[in-house]
Structure 1
């Protein structure tokens, strides 16, 4: 079955954006011009544009026109990559701000997720992750203290996975749970977002190659700045 014409137009405009015919933040040609270019009615053209808007690729600005939306950070859900690697892969500069870095007793959920025994301590750190200085994510990361007690604070907070590998550990499987949420007052303040703005919530448990869990992460991403792409 042949694809509908609006889907063909959608795919072509998307390719043009990927090939930098239309750059991020730039205005695309008016509907009338695009309809003439593709030889279709404006109604068909509008279907294609609306689909691209729904996908977050284009954004309509009242009284101004339609623009290529700001690029989101994409995490491809195949293999395990750190936020730093993901951001570099998207051509952006990563950075982070450490809010807290404390050693103490685990909560019940931390104890369960990390399969800890009685009396074990954990390192719990909170941080904001940035791409090109734009806040993307607020996360709380919990790690068994025994695993990282000889490693430096700077290495753990900035390059956890690389630091573990340098110390002879191999990263294994990751399990993630993705859900939707809205920003409360605290999340909005930390992420420079609006209260009630859409968030993506991610719970992640990462294991070593031995099968032992070493990282439990709870993260909130601003939905219009980040997206997950699943691939097999």
Structure 2
């Protein structure tokens, strides 16, 4: 049977939707496991006997539903199962990811010195315009983007954070290099939003997809605030749990 023969063109359901349903059924049935690369656009066009525009509509609908993700220059992949992400007084991205047999990675996107905004100054017990180091970073599990964040650290105490984080991809290592071998989460605030253009590019998701926005404050062993962060998580890729 040819791919085109699989489609019932007279049953009142658009062709692209039938293609999306067929691929979704393969995912649900285990024929396409998480992390699998979908056939190329040309291969799907030949399989279903349709034009490329129709295939693109079908794939876009799967992206919008969070079933697959498009990686520029690489292809389209079946989404992995959501990462269980506990939030507690000791939240460590790498430990969470490794504990679920996945490979963690962090990437420095940029950094700059700036005066603390009112929000950051309040979080870090500073005066407005006190100097802070701002860093933007992205975080991955098995190469899949899970979150990106903007974080602030008081200066001059944490001037080395960008260099160490850029080399290691680890905030824990960066704080340790600045004389903070351990730290704890003092507060967490969880909200929701829809993905904008920045979220779309950094998380490889369609604009309008749900995003979890988490504001957090970490303190050193003496209770001194050392880090404020605002993290954007792809909501479909994590399952948050809140504990002690």
TM-score by length of 2: 0.62
Structure 1 partner of 2:197: 185
Alignment check: 8 A CA contact 2:135 2:162 kept: no
Could you list the structure 1 runs, at least 4 aligned residues long, displaced by more than 4 angstroms after superposition. Answer: none
Whether 1:83 and 2:85 are equivalent positions in the alignment is: no
Give the length in aligned residue pairs. 170
| 1:27, distance to aligned residue in structure 2 (A) | 2.5
Counterparts of 1:219 and 1:122, CA distance in 2: 18
Alignment check: 8 A CA contact 2:153 2:227 kept: yes
Whether 1:160 and 2:171 are equivalent positions in the alignment is: yes
Q: Which one of 160, 181, 187 corresponds to residue 175 of structure 1?
A: 187
Q: 213-222 or 85-94: which moved more?
A: 85-94
Counterparts of 2:240 and 2:84, CA distance in 1: 6
Counterparts of 2:152 and 2:195, CA distance in 1: 22
Alignment check: 8 A CA contact 2:116 2:127 kept: no
| 1:152, distance to aligned residue in structure 2 (A) | 5.7
Q: 1:168 to 1:97 in 2, by over 3 A?
A: closer
| 1:166, distance to aligned residue in structure 2 (A) | 5.5
For structure 2, the 5+ residue unaligned runs are: 1-26, 31-66, 68-78
For structure 1, the 5+ residue unaligned runs are: 1-24, 29-58, 60-68
Structure 2 partner of 1:213: 225
TM-score by length of 1: 0.65
Whether 1:196 and 2:208 are equivalent positions in the alignment is: yes
Structure 2 partner of 1:27: 29
Structure 1 partner of 2:37: none
Counterparts of 1:190 and 1:97, CA distance in 2: 11
Deviations 1:87-120 (A, max 9, x none): 1112111112222111121112111111113653
How large is the Cα RMSD of the aligned pairs?
A: 2.5
Whether 1:114 and 2:124 are equivalent positions in the alignment is: yes
